Amino acid sequence: PPDSTVISPNLSTCHQSVGYTGHLVYCCPPKPESEEPFIDFQLPDPPSTLRVRRPVHLIDDEFIAKYNKAITIMKSLPYDDPRNFMRQANMHCIYCTGAYNQKYSNSLLNIHKSWLFFPWHRMMIYFHEKILGDLIGDETFALPFWNWDAPEGMVIPKMYMKEPFLDKERDRSHLPPQVADINYNFVESTLEADEQISRNLAFMYNQMVSGAKKTELFMGCPYKIGEAGACIGRGTIESAPHNTLHSWVGSSLNPKRENMGVFYSAARDPIFYGHHSNIDRLWEVWKELRGYKPEIVDPDWLDSYFFFHNEKSQLVRIKIRDVLNITNLGYSYQKVDLPWLNARP
Ligand code: C2O
């Protein structure tokens, strides 16, 4: 379809945005992206080095040392450099607080609460991962995933409790060994650990299977150009455990449970990337469970595009259709058990 019928950002509009009601934030890049040349995304040439994403609770010290080195370099880059850690966290802020207007409508662009959720976040962590790997010269570097849908993963993984993966802005009563309430609703769970775990597994079954039979229920509702704001029809997983774990991790001492608890600051916590790696994996698991039928064939979805900087600091235009096959993107997920699959409530 012509460019003008799909959702895309107008890069020259980046402006102050609403972090939460009554609180304005400014996340835009120091130099306007609209003045940079951009390239169109190209899939890596085969044979691509396969990056295998592993569960955080199963990685070894050697991997942690690599990741530590990469993220330390990333944090030390100047803010002018789009590969800088805070710049990337602010990409999330830009797209999640409506800092861009859409290119062919005056509506703000917002990638939550709709069918943009899964593909946009896949793109974000894809570039993040490639940058981390490039900073340490390791093409096989893969982000780990926080496997919170399995009992062993239902606590904040140890790795995130030490610098440079630590974030002080987290709820102190939710640090290990506290078992996560993956459907946290701002009320503290009083369940014993094993009860909480079975509750979580039954909830996962609902979000992945019984409550996600129709595509739209899982992927989120269509969000089309010219519509006033997002359609506000989150997919099951986006609502919970995605949103709920964001809130559960963030600090109860901050107005909106920053950092993880609110969009503008969420990606400042390194656990964000492990959280989204698991979200991205669950999209893949859902596809597998339904035999890899294409989830959505509407060109308005397939051709929607966004901009990110790659590991060479080039501005890249990338479409949703570019990211629907993770093998083509050069990564995979280590196969792990799906204990919730037999946890029908
Ligand atoms: Cu854009 Cu986990 O949120």
Tell me: ipTM over 0.90: yes
Q: What is the pLDDT of residues 207-217, one digit of tens each?
A: 999 999 999 99
Q: Tell me how crowded residue 86 is: count the other CB atoms within 10 A of its CB.
A: 14
Q: Is the CB of 266 under 6 A from ligand 1?
A: yes
The three-point CA angle 319-324-327 to 5° equals: 120
> Where do runs of H (alpha helix) occur along 53-116?
61-76, 85-96
Question: Active site residue: 128, 174, 246, 275, which one?
Answer: 246
**pLDDT over 70 percentage in the chain:** 97
d(CA 129, CA 125) in angstroms, rounded, equals: 6
Q: Give the residue among 174, 157, 168 at the shortest CA–CA distance from 63.
A: 157
Provide the pLDDT for residue 343. 85
Question: Active site residue: 57, 128, 174, 276, which one?
Answer: 276
CA 142–ligand 1 middle distance (angstroms): 19
Q: Is the CB of 242 under 6 A from ligand 1?
A: yes
Q: State the average pLDDT over residues 323-341.
A: 97
pTM value? 0.97
Q: Is the CB of 96 under 6 A from ligand 1?
A: yes
92 as an active site residue: the answer is: yes
Give the CB-side neighbour count of residue 231, counting CA atoms within 13 A. 17
CA 263–ligand 1 middle distance (angstroms): 6
Provide the pLDDT for residue 18. 95
57 as an active site residue: the answer is: no
Q: What is the pLDDT of residues 56-71, one digit of tens each?
A: 999 999 999 999 999 9
Residue 233 corresponds to which amino acid?
Answer: G
Query: What mean pLDDT, rounded, does the chain reach?
Result: 95
